[in-house]
Structure 1
Amino acid sequence: MKVLGLIPARGGSKGIPGKNIKSLQGKPLLEYTFESAKESLFLSKIVLSSDDQEIIQVASKIGLEVPFVRPSILSTDSTPTLPVILHALDFFEEKGESFDAVCLLQTTNPFRRKGLVDESIRVFIESQADALISVLPVPHEFNPHWVFEPTPNGMLSIATGESQIITRRQDLPPAYFRDGAIYITKTSVLRNKKSLYGEKLAFIVGDVERYVNLDTPKDWEKAEILYKQLGLGN
């Protein structure tokens, strides 16, 4: 299976200005994700998708391939992920190169465990799923079976639609949320179903102790602390 590793990194970040190339413990943020991708034996090609010349220069300096410049129309705050992926696929297909799937690796989750990319691709292939995402466990107090929604008459109902609440934490079924570190989708699903997830979605569980999603300056402070706690500089 040919899998394209795609690292999206547009310019114009508002929450953390210059986020994608901002130095995190001496390395530009996107380098962490590139290092995780380079470990992979299953990614056929690893490329950057960016509209920003400064990001492109930094990427080129660290050895990350930048075969195209992403159009500005696909680089706004409101641009969905799907058109960005399809733009990359279109670029390569015009040059006669096609891929069976795309592995999207966001720069905002820099601390993936060693081997996570290939673990994910292996599960994706073996499961024969349309797509795979990395997830983390939902804390039990936020489990959907313990979440309530307001009704039109001003009362509360259990979000899952059950009439009786599960009383014991030990009886709650597992629940997960996307951590944003890994998205893998078949090209046919991206193109034909216009979906990142398809109908058959597999998953791999990430590491809570490594989790950070860089959106705000506070998140960046957490990442600086996490870097030291994980001993990444040793």
Structure 2
Amino acid sequence: MIPARGGSKRIKHKNIRLFDNIPLIAHSINTAMKSNCFDAIVVSTESDEIAAVAEQYGALVPFRRPKALADDFIGTTPIVQHALQALSELGANPTSCCCIYATAPLMSAEMLRQAKATLLADDTVDFVFSACEFSFPIQRALLTDSHGGVVPFDPESIGKRSQDLVKTYHDAGQFYWGMTNAFLAPQPAVFGPRSRMHLLPDYLVADIDTEADWRRAELLYRLLQQESA
């Protein structure tokens, strides 16, 4: 399931803007198809324009997302839940589902296959999501005070060596595999003890929210394409 709303603010029409000559969402659709992990690739959107592009590249758009689930304040989980419930009403009841962001051009089919295998190999695992190690210890982060001075975020850690600090990770914002019953739970714990991280190197991670993010993602994508050529 690929969520793609039409009202992006910082980058207009982000999900269908051309990225390497095809709409950004098409990269996610193509990678999902290439993975051979799915019975169906469904796009959840309130936009007729995005729906038309998604269908052009082979995805299904069997329902429209309600406007109430298409504003700036709605998280991903309610969108996945709505999609699963809408599909159930249409007679489709998958046992597992993967939410793939439309803004993941660096994602590969192999990542999806490996993460799915992790999910299905252990019945104590409900979710597997893409993640990345922070490139610098967050315990040594700095803040500015009200006078413009500098203060450590964690005074106890600021003087420690990097190798003496615990490793920390962040959501890579590419995909979230999960069992359907876990997604539909009253309070799904995607970042909980029954979840596992599929770790990626930082050069395969790009959060695309600004024009600078877009440019960085394009450069990384081109380098990766050259490397695989």
Q: What range is the shorter-chain TM-score in?
A: 0.7 to 0.9
Aligned to 1:152: none
Q: 1:26 aligns with which of 17, 21, 25?
A: 21
Would the alpha carbon gap of residues 156 and 23 (structure 1) be closer, same or farther in structure 2, given more than 3 Å must change? closer
Give 2:121's aligned amino acid. E
Q: Which secondary structure state, in structure 1, belongs to the residue aligned with residue 79 of structure 2?
A: helix
Q: 2:199 aligns with which of 191, 194, 205?
A: 205
Aligned to 1:171: 164
Give 2:215's aligned amino acid. E
Give distance in 2, aligned partners of 1:206 and 1:31. Answer: 22
Partner deviation per Cα, 1:117-156 (whole Å, 9 max, x = no partner):
11111112224312111111112332x4x4589xxxxx97
Give 1:96's aligned amino acid. G
Q: Which secondary structure state, in structure 1, belongs to the residue aligned with residue 181 of structure 2?
A: helix
Give 1:44's aligned amino acid. D
Q: Which secondary structure state, in structure 1, belongs to the residue aligned with residue 35 of structure 2?
A: coil
Q: What TM-score does the superposition give when structure 1 sets the normalisation length?
A: 0.84
Aligned to 1:215: 209
Would the alpha carbon gap of residues 193 and 130 (structure 1) be closer, same or farther in structure 2, given more than 3 Å must change? farther
Q: In structure 1, list runs of 5 or more residues that go unmatched.
A: 1-5, 150-154
Q: How does 1:1-234 map to 2 (within 5 A)?
A: 6-127=1-122, 128-142=124-138, 144=139, 146=140, 158=154, 167-197=160-190, 198-231=192-225
Q: What TM-score does the superposition give when structure 2 sets the normalisation length?
A: 0.86
Give distance in 2, aligned partners of 1:196 and 1:34. Answer: 26
Give distance in 1, aligned partners of 2:142 and 2:188. Answer: 29
Give 1:138's aligned amino acid. F
Bigger shift: residues 25-34 or 163-172: 163-172
Give distance in 1, aligned partners of 2:12 and 2:71. Answer: 14
Q: In structure 2, list runs of 5 or more residues that go unmatched.
A: 144-150
Aligned to 1:3: none
Q: Which secondary structure state, in structure 2, belongs to the residue aligned with residue 177 of structure 1?
A: strand
Q: Is the 8 A contact 2:135 2:202 kept in 1?
A: no
Give distance in 1, aligned partners of 2:110 and 2:171. Answer: 19
Give distance in 1, aligned partners of 2:223 and 2:100. Answer: 23
Q: Is the 8 A contact 1:36 1:112 kept in 2?
A: yes
Give distance in 1, aligned partners of 2:169 and 2:68. Answer: 33
TM-superposed CA distance for 1:42, in Å, is 2.6
CA RMSD in angstroms comes to 2.5
Identity level (%): 28
Would the alpha carbon gap of residues 171 and 14 (structure 1) be closer, same or farther in structure 2, given more than 3 Å must change? same
